[in-house]
Structure 1
Amino acid sequence: MERLLRRWRSFSGPLLSRCPPSQPPLCRAYHHPPGRVKRLALSRFFQPQNLREDQVVGLESRVSELTCKSHRLMLQTGLIHPAGPGCYHYLPFTVRAMEKLIRMIDQEMQAIGGQKLDMPSLCSAKLWRATGRWQLMGKELFQLQDRHNKEYCLGPTHEEAITSLMASQKTLSYRQLPHLLYQVTRKFRDEPRPRFGLLRGREFYMKDMYTFDCSAEAAHQTYDLVCDAYGRLFDRLGLRFVRVQAAVGSIGGTMSHEFHLPLNIGEDTLTACSNCGFTANVETLDPKQPNCPVCQGKLAETKGVEVGHTFYLGTKYSSVFNTEFINAQGKPSLVEMGCYGLGVTRILAAAIEVLSTEECIRWPRLLAPYQVCLIPPKKGSKEEMAIEPMETLYDNIAEALPQLQGEILLDDRTHLTIGNRLKDAKKLGYPFVVIAGKRALEQPCHFEVWCQNTEEVVFLPKQGLLDLLRKVQVV
């Protein structure tokens, strides 16, 4: 046995000596020392920027399509990238902001009893023909056939699908109602003229909720409950909204309201009475009656972008699909329904349109993709020694303020000047930008802090900065 081992060692030694040295691990997007929190480094992010106007025009091919501020800024900063008419790639920063918005929507919907589900985007033509909407919506539907010649559409809305699902529950009792079922998913509409970026596209994200009650009175209570939740959501976002009387359109029902952000680029004209507070979309009013229908006061007009829509449907869909429950008398009865939509990607774009300057994005603070951007000095500059204190500051913030872990970004592109990186940071709209300049080398060390939402610039020591960031709320 020993002789065999000696022969093996003598044979394998030269082979082992020729083995290539072990390779260093692949470089990761997160640079951090062992035992420390992961540092998010901007240089590793997929975030293409097209900061020159001519580059942005080239992306969309026509200057006339860039008349919307949010559209131009989102292209410039690499938040979106065109994939086709009315369709966009949502890039990493946008996905982070959208995920935060969805978390807020989940909080508000679940606070009133909403239950989240997910329905197929492929909707059967059979269901849509049953309600007459296959013909009614016509070219607005993306229609297709499978290999078995079965017809479908890509769902722009899901009234038929959800009502059919509820109809399959044959033992539904009045004790189980109300049901508030919602989803956040992609929707599709074959817009004849997609424009304004995410404000009017052919593919978009929407939250749609469908409610089922045992009486008209209960359904109206649910209607008010959801409308109040919408109001709380926009208040949390810091967005001024207007709720107006609206037409039921192709959705149908007997009552409808729209939620708008007042914007000059809006495609809807809204009216409001200063005497009684009446508000409406002008399409619901008789053009021959210029005064308020409630008090005959004068109406003032504004433009708005629709970001939410609510409908009281009654039994419009439940009667088609025979969607029933067993009432208190033990007899079957049709459920009373409501439908409630929020444009997720439209809210993002409209918020940017409302809050931003012509040159720089401003987010609702809770939706900012990252709350803090740290900018160390340029390599080779007089302040280069402050690079290490800035990296240490990253770790200090993450350890002292756990709620900000994952919300801090280190702009490690130290081949660029502080000024160039600050310009990018202001354009992207981080609520707080922290710079290590000359005063970072002083004792005690002070950092330059740009508070973007208030447009203040202050110099703070590390503890002062931690105290400031401790107040930051995250979703």
Structure 2
Amino acid sequence: MRWSKALIPTQKETPADAVAPSHVFLLRAGMVRQLGAGAYTYLPLGFRVLNKVIKIIREEMEAAGASELLMPALQPVELWKQSGRYETFGELLMQLTISSNQTIALGPTHEEVITDLVRDLVKSYRQLPITLYQIQTKFRDEPRPRFGILRTREFLMKDAYSFDADVEQLSASYDAMYEAYCRIFDRCGIPYVIVEAESGPIGGDSSHEFMVPSSTGEDVVVQCPSCDYAANRERAEIGEAAATLSLPDSTTPFEEVVTPGRRTIQEVCTFLKVPESTSAKLLVFLADDKPVAVLIRGDHEANEAKVRRAFGASTLVAADAATVEKVTGAPMGFLGPIAIKIPLAIDRSVAAMPHVVVGANAVDLHLKGVVPGRDFPLDRVVDLRNAAEGDPCPRCGATMIVKQGIEVGHVFKLGTKYSKAMGATFLDDKGAEIPLIMGCYGIGVNRIVAAAVEAGHDDNGIVWPLPIAPYEALIVPLQPQNPAVLEAAESLEKQFTEAGIDVLMDDREQRPGVKFKDADLIGIPLRIVISERGLKEGTIEVKWRTDAAAHQVPAATAGEAILAELEAIRKGLAATCVERRIARAAAKGQ
């Protein structure tokens, strides 16, 4: 491909609304163009990257035994009501009214559609197990599309669904997809961490996320540097720290303190001149529409997923002010655990405190010197808060660290959540009708592209991993009007193309500085410069995007030398993928 024939609209200046490196460089490199909030056109270079990612995904999904299909983006909302997700998915679900006043949804995901399909087509255990996947555009009414193609309203996703007859089959299907994901991300050349995760509105009882570490990532990864424990913040457990607090004087009663107009933890603690870590806040939720309360240390944040699990609830929402006052008898800002009438769970950090400042369940009143276990019961003490930097690991007790990350993949064990709700059953070998057991496996295709840029860039532009770069090699004839220079460039282009190398030639009549800056910006791994001076000296310049300096190869044997370098890089990448696969297998065997 010739640069002059391609659409590569590079930009010198950073777009005003671009902040994340992937957003900046994909726009500047002419790979994407924004049409509207959360909607992007993929220009030729960006589309080539996208297609290379898709090719890797397809190859690994097929190797894992999954079969590809394509389902409609238009989905009847009745299916969402059957599954029970119509309300829980909320405003993210894009809906429109078509003829006959029928309401349909633009698919954000396809659990309902695939379950509807399989319940009609799979009737016997002899048809199981089966895993089906698609690569398709999804739609979600994202309230804050940002960071370019990282968070959009329209995005490309690979979603797969396994259907099994029993738990053992599900585990095998899950493991096959888990390993396929590792191979996909290994082959794409992006760094990733596998973390335990919450299933969220998808549902299910076991899930893992694949995260690419990035300072612009909107997900939080809690990780132990001493063992292999890692989880997202929603899921991360907290180990029990060794007790360091002295026992309180159990004979001293708590003290009632007037705190006029002080409602927030910060206001109360500032007024009382005590650290926020010595206070606790009582929060009220509706768990499956029933009021419950949790007590969290003042400087901590409640983890709603943990709260939901603590009460065995399917749904959890924060109670509004009117509901809070109705079920507790006190307004928000002055709530406390003493004599509370609704079910109460207490975070472990509060239970370990010798005394605590809490609300008095009365306007403008708080209590000092309240002793957990003496002044209110410790009947339900569990981990209820978000993990933070410095917390102990739940497995080895070492100090955990917190990083930001970009979620590029997610695997779930759904179980029978959808099959029971939607009546998707099969007949087992005894003729009994049993709900299908499901798994769900998603990859954000666009996010892999963005994550690769987040993980691979410098001040000059993108540094693409070789397997997903738009082209593997860029030939730059500095004087294309010179017949000798152009002939040498075309000869290399022909040799590379015949060898199966993706090659782009910058045949523009531009100054060398402009060509070099654009080459760095678009990030093609290998740059080959052919110049009048070099040909006179019998050399051609070769520079890898990851190297600080270029090197010279003899012009007469340049093609063979460069192809040998490329082949060595490819073999090295393949060997690394194999080594990682062997390491995963060994770890699993342990």
Give the TM-score normalised by structure 1: 0.84
Corresponding position of 1:420: 514
Corresponding position of 1:4: none
For 2:227 and 2:58, locate their aligned partners in 1 and report how far apart those are by CA, in whole Å.
34
Contact 1:376/1:418 (CA < 8 Å) preserved in 2?
no
Q: What's the CA shift for 1:232? A: 1.5
Corresponding position of 2:546: 453
Corresponding position of 1:313: 414
Q: Which residue of the other structure, out of 398, 404, 408, is the alignment partner of 2:497?
A: 398
1:228/1:396 Cα in 2 relative to 1: closer, same or farther (>3 Å)? Answer: closer
Corresponding position of 1:118: 70
Report SS of the residue matched to 1:93. Answer: helix
Q: For each residue in 1:127-156, what CA deviation from the matched residue of structure 2 results, as whole angstroms up to 9, or x when unmatched? A: 001112111112111111111111111111
Contact 2:229/2:395 (CA < 8 Å) preserved in 1?
yes
Q: Which residue of the other structure, out of 422, 428, 435, is the alignment partner of 2:529?
A: 435
Runs of 4+ aligned structure 1 residues displaced above 6 Å come to none
Q: For each residue in 1:155-174, what CA deviation from the matched residue of structure 2 results, as whole angstroms up to 9, or x when unmatched? A: 1100000000001115x332
Contact 1:246/1:257 (CA < 8 Å) preserved in 2?
yes
Give yes or no for the alignment of 1:228 onto 2:179. yes
After TM superposition, the structure 1 = structure 2 runs for residues 283-362 of structure 1, keeping only pairs within 5 Å, are 283-284=234-235, 285=237, 286-287=384-385, 290-362=391-463
Q: What's the CA shift for 1:83? A: 0.4
Corresponding position of 2:243: none
Letter in 2 for 1:130: Q
Q: Which residue of the other structure, out of 25, 30, 45, is the alignment partner of 1:73?
A: 25
Q: Which residue of the other structure, out of 447, 467, 470, is the alignment partner of 2:561?
A: 467
For 1:91 and 1:379, locate their aligned partners in 2 and report how far apart those are by CA, in whole Å.
25
Report SS of the residue matched to 1:81. Answer: strand
1:174/1:421 Cα in 2 relative to 1: closer, same or farther (>3 Å)? Answer: same
Corresponding position of 2:198: 247
Q: Which residue of the other structure, out of 137, 148, 156, is the alignment partner of 2:100?
A: 148
For 2:480 and 2:411, locate their aligned partners in 1 and report how far apart those are by CA, in whole Å.
55
Q: Which residue of the other structure, out of 76, 83, 98, is the alignment partner of 1:131?
A: 83
Contact 1:314/1:337 (CA < 8 Å) preserved in 2?
yes
Contact 1:386/1:440 (CA < 8 Å) preserved in 2?
no
For 1:394 and 1:277, locate their aligned partners in 2 and report how far apart those are by CA, in whole Å.
46
Corresponding position of 1:11: none
Letter in 2 for 1:396: Q
Report SS of the residue matched to 2:458. Answer: coil
Q: Which residue of the other structure, out of 33, 41, 48, is the alignment partner of 2:9?
A: 48
Q: What's the CA shift for 1:288? A: 7.3
Between 423-432 and 383-392, the greater mean CA deviation after superposition = 383-392
Letter in 2 for 1:274: P
Q: What's the CA shift for 1:125? A: 0.2
Letter in 1 for 2:485: A
Contact 1:125/1:153 (CA < 8 Å) preserved in 2?
yes
Q: For each residue in 1:167-226, what CA deviation from the matched residue of structure 2 results, as whole angstroms up to 9, or x when unmatched? A: 1115x3322211110001111111111100011111111100000011012102211221
Letter in 2 for 1:299: M
Give yes or no for the alignment of 1:178 onto 2:129. yes
Corresponding position of 1:262: 213
Between 268-277 and 97-106, the greater mean CA deviation after superposition = 268-277
Indicate the structure whose relative CO is greater, using CA pairs within 8 Å and at least 6 residues apart: 2
Letter in 2 for 1:467: A
Contact 1:265/1:303 (CA < 8 Å) preserved in 2?
yes
Letter in 2 for 1:386: V
Contact 1:431/1:452 (CA < 8 Å) preserved in 2?
yes
Q: What's the CA shift for 1:255? A: 1.1
Corresponding position of 1:409: 504
Corresponding position of 1:7: none
For 2:503 and 2:221, locate their aligned partners in 1 and report how far apart those are by CA, in whole Å.
41
1:387/1:224 Cα in 2 relative to 1: closer, same or farther (>3 Å)? Answer: same
For 2:456 and 2:386, locate their aligned partners in 1 and report how far apart those are by CA, in whole Å.
36
Backbone CA RMSD of aligned residues? 2.0
For 2:412 and 2:459, locate their aligned partners in 1 and report how far apart those are by CA, in whole Å.
36
Unaligned runs of 5+ in 1: 1-39, 58-64
Q: What's the CA shift for 1:109? A: 0.8
Give yes or no for the alignment of 1:197 onto 2:151. no
Q: What's the CA shift for 1:276? A: 3.6
Give the TM-score normalised by structure 2: 0.68
Contact 2:73/2:106 (CA < 8 Å) preserved in 1?
yes
For 2:497 and 2:195, locate their aligned partners in 1 and report how far apart those are by CA, in whole Å.
44
1:293/1:448 Cα in 2 relative to 1: closer, same or farther (>3 Å)? Answer: same
Total equivalences in the alignment: 418
Q: What's the CA shift for 1:384? A: 6.2
Contact 2:525/2:545 (CA < 8 Å) preserved in 1?
yes
Q: What's the CA shift for 1:106? A: 0.7
Contact 1:51/1:77 (CA < 8 Å) preserved in 2?
no
Q: What's the CA shift for 1:297? A: 3.3
For 1:234 and 1:253, locate their aligned partners in 2 and report how far apart those are by CA, in whole Å.
24
Contact 1:377/1:384 (CA < 8 Å) preserved in 2?
no
Q: For each residue in 1:212-245, what CA deviation from the matched residue of structure 2 results, as whole angstroms up to 9, or x when unmatched? A: 0110121022112211111122122222211111
Q: What's the CA shift for 1:267? A: 1.2
Letter in 2 for 1:421: K
Q: For each residue in 1:33-62, what CA deviation from the matched residue of structure 2 results, as whole angstroms up to 9, or x when unmatched? A: xxxxxxx21101122222223xx22xxxxx
Q: What's the CA shift for 1:425? A: 1.1
